[in-house]
Each structure stands twice: as structure tokens, then as C-alpha cells.
Amino acid sequence: MTQTLKGLLSRKQCHEYLVWTCVLQFSLAPRDEAAGCPSAADVLMGLSASQLNRVFKAYGEERFSGRIAKAVVECRNTLGPIRSTKQLADLVASVVSPLNQRQKRSIRSGNEEENDERTSSHVATRIFQALRIFVNDELNELCCGLEAAHRLLRGPSPDAPAGRAAVISFHSLEDRLIKRAFAMSGCNGYGLAQRLADSSLESGSFLSTDQTSTLWRQIAGPLRPSGEEVQQNRRSRSAKLRIGEKASTY
């Protein structure tokens, strides 16, 4: 007899190893050299300025990605490899801080409000996020998790309600993928991860030409933490919860 699940909870929380300790002296070397996986140090040393720009822009949504990428390449060509998080954080700050100060002066002169989320974070936070997502292949891991959830959850039937997946994301790239997954139609459940991966960096909405039934039905979300919750845990401020119910039997 095939066993199926009634519900799944997934929390896609970013690891704080690089993001929240970026001003400390931690190594960027690989944690498991025997596995042959590239490390953040490998990425910073091996990619070209245009490739780094794409990584920083796509996975970190960093507005100064091009300037930072050029600075990384210039630094490694003149001073050698970037080996620690502090070294990288200092380099990013040297590029971004003057630009931020210039922008703040422009905002004040125009009497516009500043973005609190951006100004309250360390200037290198988005770069460390981009490196972490790229090195750990986190978006593809999320895609595979959503595909596995669809495969394992109980499908709709007259005898029992369909299984549900509750997914908490902590940045916009993850939430975008989850939103697209819950809106997808026209593919076998086993192909969901690849379709999501192919569409993860496109600017538009995911479009399907097939007219078959949808895989999920979003029943709640995005739900955000209350002000009281954010006061108790400041890092929860970017969290979003979406709940999807399995809508197809395949």
C-alpha cells in the first residue's frame, strides 16, 4: 500500500554563517574540499567581472553589482586572492559606502523616505547572500524540495482532503519561486524542479501554454510576521509564509 503525507512544513531560512558574521575574520575556503564543490573563495577567484556581476545581481539583487564585481577582480589582480569574509566585506564597503552616502544626500535633498531595510543592513549583506545561494545551489534545492513535496503529498480524493505544503521563505528570490510553483500548470510533477530552475531568473511571470490542470492551489499567503514578532526577532522581518494544497493526482 502506497503511503502519502497529509502535510509538509518547509522553512527556507538562510544560513547566518556568512551573512551575519561578515565583518569577522572567517575563511572563505571550502568546508569540504574532498567533495570537489566550489567555495566562495573559488568563485571570487575564478569568475570574470561579468560573471561575478551576474551572480551578485541575480542572487543578491545588488544594485551596485557591476562596480563590486570590477573591484573584486582588481583586488585579486593587484593584492592576490580574497581569503576571508572581513576582507571581502571591507572591499564591498569601500565601493558601496561612498555611493550610499551620495544617494542619501540626494534623497534628503528631494525629501524622499529612505528604505529602512536596506539602510539597516550591512552593505555587504547582499553580496554574501549571493555567494551563499550560488555556492550552495539553494534555488535548485528549493525546486527539488517543492517537487518532492508534490510527489509525496496525498492527492485530492472524495474520501479525504488533499495534502498541503506550508513554505516559509526569507528573501524575494525564494518567495518568487514558491509563488510560481503554486501557480504552475501543464507539467508532470517530476518535471517541476527543472521548470522552476529555468524560470527562476526571468523578470516576467512564468507562462505555460498547456491547458492541463494546475499542480497546486494556493490557499493562504503571503503571510508576514506581526510587528510584535519582528520586535522579538528582527531577522523575521523578511519572512513570508505561503500554503499550497495539492490539486493534481500525478
Query: pLDDT of 61-116, one tens digit each?
Result: 899 999 999 999 999 999 999 988 899 999 999 998 876 655 555 544 555 544 44
Amino acid identity for residue 13 in this structure: Q
pLDDT reading at 123 higher than 80: yes
**Chain position carrying cell 544626500:** 105
Query: pLDDT of 39-52, one tens digit each?
Result: 888 999 999 999 99
Q: Count CA atoms closer than 13 A to 231's CA, side-chain side.
A: 3
Q: Who has greater pLDDT, 113 or 126?
A: 126
Taken in order of first residue, the domains within the chain and their CATH numbers are 40-107+122-136 (1.10.150.170), 137-201+214-246 (3.40.50.150)
pLDDT for the residue numbered 118: 47
DSSP-based three-state secondary structure for 241: strand
pLDDT for the residue numbered 177: 84
- Cis omega (within 30 of 0) on the bond before 222? yes
Query: pLDDT of 147-176, one tens digit each?
Result: 888 888 888 888 888 888 899 988 888 888
% of residues, the chain, pLDDT over 90: 25
Per-residue CA distances from 52 to 93, 141, 159 (Å): 17, 21, 53
DSSP-based three-state secondary structure for 185: strand
CA gyration radius for the chain? 21
Residues 217-226, mean pLDDT to the nearest whole number: 90
Contact 43, 76 (CB under 8 A): no
